[in-house]
Structure 1
Amino acid sequence: MMTIRKTKQLGIIALSALVLGISCSDEFLEVPPAASLGDAQLGTKDGIEGLLIGTYAALNGVFGNRFEGPNHWITGSIMGGDANKGTDAGDYSSINPIQRYETDPTSGDLNNLWRGRFEGVARANRVLATITNSPDALQPADLARISGEARMLRGHFYFDLKKHFGNIPVFDETIPPDEVIVLPNNGDAWAQIEADFQYAYDNLPAVTDAGRVNKWAAAAYMGKAKLYQGKFGEAITWFNDVISNGVTPTGEKYALLDNIAEIYNAEFDNHAESVMDVESANNTGSTANANYFDDLNYPYNTGPDGPGNCCGFFQPSIELGNSYRTGADGLPLLDGSYNDPANEVANNFKWVVVDGNDEASFVPDANPLDPRIDFAMGRMGLPYLDWIDHPGSAWIRSFPYAGPYSPKKYIYYKSQENTFTDGSSWTRGYALMNYTIIRYADVLLMAAEAEIEAGSLATALDYINQVRRRAANSEFWVKASDGSGANAANYVISEYTTLGSQEQAREIVRFERKLELSGEGHRFFDLVRWGVAAETINAYLGYESQYLVTKFGGASFTAGKSELYPIPQAQIDIQGPDVLTQNPGY
Structure 2
Amino acid sequence: AYGNYRSTELAGFQLYCKVFACSSHAADLAYGGDAGWTELAFNKISVSNGNVTELWRGLYVGVKQTNAFLERASFYESNFMAPSEQQMVNYMRGEAYFLRAYYYFLLENFFGESYIINGTGGDKMGVPVYTEIPKTLAETQQPRKTVREVWDFIINDLKQSASLLNGAVWSGSNKGRANAWSAKALLGKAYVFTQDWTNAKTTLLDVINNSGKSLMPFAKYRDAFNGNPANEFNEESLFEINVDRVAAGYGVFGDFPNKNLTTTQGVIWAPSCVGTGGTEDGGDNTLGYSNEFVHDKNLLRFGFNLPIYTLVPNPNYNPALPASPTNTPQVMDPVTMAASKAMRANKTVDPRLFVNALQPWVDTVKMGGVLRPVAKCSNIGTGIRQFSQGWSFKKFQTIDDNVHAYNAADASNLYILRLADVYLLYAEACMNSGENANALEYINKVKRRAYDYPVNAASPVDYASLTAPTKATDANLANNPLRYERFTELFAEGHWWFDVGRWRIGTGEAAYFNVLLPTGGSSQWAENRSYSFPIPFSEMSTNAQLAGKQNPGY
TM-score under structure 2 length normalisation: 0.77
The equivalent residue for 1:508 is 481
Following superposition, the deviation at residue 381 of structure 1 comes to: 2.4
* Change in CA separation of 1:508 and 1:235 when aligned onto 2, cut-off 3 Å: same
Looking at structure 2, the residues matched to 424 and 386 of structure 1 have their Cα atoms a distance apart, in angstroms, of 13
Higher helix share: 1
**SS of the residue 2:432 aligns to:** helix
Query: Given residue 89 of structure 1, which amino acid in structure 2 is its aligned partner?
Result: G
Following superposition, the deviation at residue 94 of structure 1 comes to: 2.4
**SS of the residue 2:186 aligns to:** helix
Alignment of 1:484-499 (within 5 A): 494-499=461-466
Following superposition, the deviation at residue 197 of structure 1 comes to: 0.5
Looking at structure 2, the residues matched to 350 and 464 of structure 1 have their Cα atoms a distance apart, in angstroms, of 40
Looking at structure 2, the residues matched to 89 and 274 of structure 1 have their Cα atoms a distance apart, in angstroms, of 36
* Change in CA separation of 1:66 and 1:182 when aligned onto 2, cut-off 3 Å: closer
Alignment of 1:50-65 (within 5 A): 55-61=1-7, 64-65=8-9
Contact 2:47 2:536 (C-alpha < 8 Å) held by counterparts: yes
1:373 to 341, 353, 358: 353
The equivalent residue for 1:32 is none
Looking at structure 2, the residues matched to 161 and 58 of structure 1 have their Cα atoms a distance apart, in angstroms, of 15
2:529 to 553, 561, 566: 561
1:269 correspondence with 2:232: yes
The equivalent residue for 2:438 is 459
* Change in CA separation of 1:562 and 1:457 when aligned onto 2, cut-off 3 Å: same
Deviations 1:65-110 (A, max 9, x none): 4677585333323211222223x323x3421122112210011111
The equivalent residue for 1:283 is 246
* Change in CA separation of 1:573 and 1:180 when aligned onto 2, cut-off 3 Å: same
1:142 correspondence with 2:103: no
1:81 correspondence with 2:25: yes
The equivalent residue for 2:50 is 108
* Change in CA separation of 1:182 and 1:65 when aligned onto 2, cut-off 3 Å: closer
2:542 to 574, 581, 584: 574
* Change in CA separation of 1:66 and 1:403 when aligned onto 2, cut-off 3 Å: farther
Contact 1:445 1:513 (C-alpha < 8 Å) held by counterparts: yes
Aligned residue pairs total 471
Following superposition, the deviation at residue 472 of structure 1 comes to: 1.5
Which consecutive segments of 4 or more residues in structure 1 shift more than 6 A? Answer: 304-308, 503-506
Query: Given residue 48 of structure 2, which amino acid in structure 1 is its aligned partner?
Result: T
Looking at structure 2, the residues matched to 498 and 291 of structure 1 have their Cα atoms a distance apart, in angstroms, of 41
1:129 correspondence with 2:80: no
Looking at structure 2, the residues matched to 225 and 541 of structure 1 have their Cα atoms a distance apart, in angstroms, of 29
Contact 1:324 1:373 (C-alpha < 8 Å) held by counterparts: yes
Looking at structure 2, the residues matched to 423 and 110 of structure 1 have their Cα atoms a distance apart, in angstroms, of 30
* Change in CA separation of 1:265 and 1:281 when aligned onto 2, cut-off 3 Å: same
Looking at structure 2, the residues matched to 108 and 504 of structure 1 have their Cα atoms a distance apart, in angstroms, of 32
**SS of the residue 2:24 aligns to:** coil
1:437 correspondence with 2:416: yes
Deviations 1:394-451 (A, max 9, x none): 745436377511101112342xx59xx78453xxx42212111112111111111111
Alignment of 1:31-430 (within 5 A): 55-61=1-7, 64-65=8-9, 69=13, 72-86=16-30, 88-90=31-33, 92-134=34-76, 135-138=78-81, 139-166=85-112, 167-173=126-132, 176-186=135-145, 188-204=149-165, 205-208=167-170, 209-247=174-212, 253-259=213-219, 260-267=221-228, 268-283=231-246, 285-286=248-249, 287-288=251-252, 289-300=261-272, 309-325=287-303, 344-348=305-309, 360-361=332-333, 363-364=336-337, 365-366=339-340, 368-384=348-364, 388=371, 390-393=373-376, 395-398=378-381, 400=384, 404-414=390-400, 423=405, 425=407, 429-430=408-409
Looking at structure 1, the residues matched to 247 and 63 of structure 2 have their Cα atoms a distance apart, in angstroms, of 25
* Change in CA separation of 1:147 and 1:506 when aligned onto 2, cut-off 3 Å: farther
Following superposition, the deviation at residue 170 of structure 1 comes to: 0.2
Contact 2:66 2:100 (C-alpha < 8 Å) held by counterparts: yes
Looking at structure 2, the residues matched to 171 and 177 of structure 1 have their Cα atoms a distance apart, in angstroms, of 13
Larger mean CA deviation between 307-316 and 137-146 belongs to 307-316
Looking at structure 2, the residues matched to 350 and 104 of structure 1 have their Cα atoms a distance apart, in angstroms, of 41
Deviations 1:201-253 (A, max 9, x none): 00113412311000000000001111111112211111101100114xxxxx3
Contact 1:76 1:525 (C-alpha < 8 Å) held by counterparts: no
Contact 1:224 1:446 (C-alpha < 8 Å) held by counterparts: yes
**SS of the residue 1:276 aligns to:** strand
Query: Given residue 375 of structure 2, which amino acid in structure 1 is its aligned partner?
Result: G
Kindly report the root-mean-square deviation, in angstroms, between the aligned alpha carbons of the 2 structures: 3.2
* Change in CA separation of 1:391 and 1:145 when aligned onto 2, cut-off 3 Å: closer
Contact 2:274 2:372 (C-alpha < 8 Å) held by counterparts: no
TM-score under structure 1 length normalisation: 0.73
Deviations 1:29-78 (A, max 9, x none): xxxxxxxxxxxxxxxxxxxxxxxxxx1111212xx246775853333232
Looking at structure 2, the residues matched to 513 and 171 of structure 1 have their Cα atoms a distance apart, in angstroms, of 32
Following superposition, the deviation at residue 116 of structure 1 comes to: 0.5
Looking at structure 2, the residues matched to 469 and 424 of structure 1 have their Cα atoms a distance apart, in angstroms, of 36
Following superposition, the deviation at residue 385 of structure 1 comes to: 5.5
Contact 1:82 1:316 (C-alpha < 8 Å) held by counterparts: yes
- Consecutive unaligned residues in structure 1, runs of 5 or more: 1-54, 248-252, 326-342, 352-357, 476-491
**SS of the residue 2:137 aligns to:** helix
Contact 1:148 1:203 (C-alpha < 8 Å) held by counterparts: yes
Looking at structure 2, the residues matched to 424 and 504 of structure 1 have their Cα atoms a distance apart, in angstroms, of 39
Looking at structure 2, the residues matched to 118 and 262 of structure 1 have their Cα atoms a distance apart, in angstroms, of 34
* Change in CA separation of 1:311 and 1:182 when aligned onto 2, cut-off 3 Å: same
**SS of the residue 1:266 aligns to:** coil
Looking at structure 2, the residues matched to 561 and 143 of structure 1 have their Cα atoms a distance apart, in angstroms, of 43
**SS of the residue 1:449 aligns to:** helix
Looking at structure 2, the residues matched to 242 and 393 of structure 1 have their Cα atoms a distance apart, in angstroms, of 42
* Change in CA separation of 1:132 and 1:436 when aligned onto 2, cut-off 3 Å: same
The equivalent residue for 2:500 is 527
Query: Given residue 361 of structure 2, which amino acid in structure 1 is its aligned partner?
Result: G
Larger mean CA deviation between 442-451 and 572-581 belongs to 572-581
Looking at structure 1, the residues matched to 182 and 240 of structure 2 have their Cα atoms a distance apart, in angstroms, of 10
1:539 correspondence with 2:511: yes
* Change in CA separation of 1:70 and 1:556 when aligned onto 2, cut-off 3 Å: closer
Identical columns (%): 23
**SS of the residue 2:363 aligns to:** coil
Contact 2:477 2:484 (C-alpha < 8 Å) held by counterparts: no
